[in-house]
Structure 1
Amino acid sequence: MILPPEMTRTGAQLGRKQWAYAFALVTSLSFTWGFSYGLINVLNAHFQTVFDITKLQSTFLQLAYFGAYFVSAPFAGALMRRIGYKKGIHIGLGLYSIGAIFCWPSAKFEKYGGFIGSTFVMGCGLSTLEVAANSYVTVLGTPHYSAARLNFSHGFPAIASFAGPLIASRWFFTGANATSLGTVQWVYLAVAGLGIVLNILFFFFDLPEIIEDSEPDEKNEVAIVGGPVPLWKQYHCIFGFVAQIAFYGAQVTVVSFAVNFFVDQGVGINPSKASELLSFCQITFTIGRFIGVVILNYIDPALLLSFYGFCCSLFCLLVSQLPGYGAIRCLFCLFFFESICYPCIFALGTKNLGVHTKQGTGLIVMGSIGGALYPLAQGALADRAYTQRSYLVPASGHIAVTIYAVGLVVDQVRKRGFSFRNRNELSAKCAAVADVQEAKYLHDHSNECILHEHQ
Structure 2
Amino acid sequence: MQITNQISDQNEVATEKVQGNKYLLPFILITSLFFLWGMAHGLDGILIPHLKKACQLNNRQSTLIDTAIFFAYFIMAIPAGIIIKKIGYKNSIITGLLVFAAGAFLFVPAANTRTYELFLLALFIIGCGLTILETSANPYAAILGPAESSSKRLNLAASFNGLAVTLAPLLGGVFILSGVNHTPEQLAAMTDASRAAYLLEEASSVKLPYIILGTVLVLVAILFYFMHLPSMKSQPTEAEVKPGFFSVLKFKHLSWAVVAQFFYVGAQVCITSFFIRIAQKGAGLDEKTAAYYLTAYGFLFMVGRFSGTFFLKFVKDYVLLSIYAVCSILLCLVAIYGTGIYVIYALGGIGFFMSIMFPTIFSLGLVGLKSNTETGSSWLVMSIVGGAILPYGMGTLIDMKHDDIQAGYIIPLLCFVIILYFGVFGHKVKTVK
TM > 0.5 fold call: yes
**Matched residue, 2:329:** 313
- Specify the SS of the correspondent of 2:284: coil
- Specify the SS of the correspondent of 1:154: helix
**Matched residue, 2:73:** 69
Aligned pairs for 1:105-120 (under 5 A) are: 105-120=109-124
* Alpha-carbon distance in structure 2 between the residues aligned to 1:292 and 1:52: 40
* Alpha-carbon distance in structure 1 between the residues aligned to 2:304 and 2:34: 17
Instruction: State the identity %.
Output: 31
Q: Structure 1 residue 13: deviation in Å?
A: 10
Contact 1:154-1:343 at 8 Å conserved across structures: yes
**Matched residue, 2:202:** 180
Q: Structure 1 residue 165: deviation in Å?
A: 1.1
Deviates more, 1:161-170 or 1:61-70: 161-170
- Specify the SS of the correspondent of 2:205: helix
* Alpha-carbon distance in structure 2 between the residues aligned to 1:171 and 1:95: 24
Alignment root-mean-square deviation, CA: 2.2
* Alpha-carbon distance in structure 1 between the residues aligned to 2:58 and 2:17: 54
Which residue of 87, 92, 104 corresponds with 1:88? 92
* Alpha-carbon distance in structure 1 between the residues aligned to 2:318 and 2:20: 29
* Alpha-carbon distance in structure 1 between the residues aligned to 2:426 and 2:392: 30
**Matched residue, 2:389:** 373
Say whether residues 1:207 and 2:229 are aligned partners: yes
Q: Look up the equivalent residue of 1:62 and give its one-letter code.
A: D
Scaled by the length of structure 2, what TM-score is found?
A: 0.87
Contact 1:139-1:211 at 8 Å conserved across structures: no
* Alpha-carbon distance in structure 1 between the residues aligned to 2:104 and 2:340: 38
Deviates more, 1:165-174 or 1:50-59: 165-174
Aligned pairs for 1:125-136 (under 5 A) are: 125-136=129-140
Q: Look up the equivalent residue of 2:336 and give its one-letter code.
A: S
* Alpha-carbon distance in structure 1 between the residues aligned to 2:362 and 2:216: 26
Deviations 1:76-111 (A, max 9, x none): 112212221011111111111111111111011111
- Specify the SS of the correspondent of 2:241: coil
Say whether residues 1:358 and 2:374 are aligned partners: yes
Q: Structure 1 residue 371: deviation in Å?
A: 0.3
Aligned pairs for 1:428-439 (under 5 A) are: none
- Specify the SS of the correspondent of 2:106: helix
**Matched residue, 1:216:** none
**Matched residue, 1:292:** 308
Q: Look up the equivalent residue of 2:45 and give its one-letter code.
A: N
- Specify the SS of the correspondent of 1:210: coil
Contact 1:382-1:389 at 8 Å conserved across structures: yes
**Matched residue, 1:241:** 258
Q: Structure 1 residue 245: deviation in Å?
A: 0.3
Q: Look up the equivalent residue of 1:253 and give its one-letter code.
A: C
Which residue of 393, 401, 404 corresponds with 2:419? 401
* Alpha-carbon distance in structure 1 between the residues aligned to 2:333 and 2:59: 21
**Matched residue, 2:31:** 27
Say whether residues 1:228 and 2:241 are aligned partners: yes
Say whether residues 1:278 and 2:300 are aligned partners: no
Structure 1: 5+ residue stretches without partners? 1-10, 214-218, 416-447
* Alpha-carbon distance in structure 1 between the residues aligned to 2:208 and 2:174: 14
Aligned residues: 395
Aligned pairs for 1:180-199 (under 5 A) are: 180-199=202-221
**Matched residue, 2:163:** 159
Q: Structure 1 residue 268: deviation in Å?
A: 3.4
Q: Structure 1 residue 318: deviation in Å?
A: 1.7
* Alpha-carbon distance in structure 2 between the residues aligned to 1:227 and 1:150: 24
Scaled by the length of structure 1, what TM-score is found?
A: 0.83
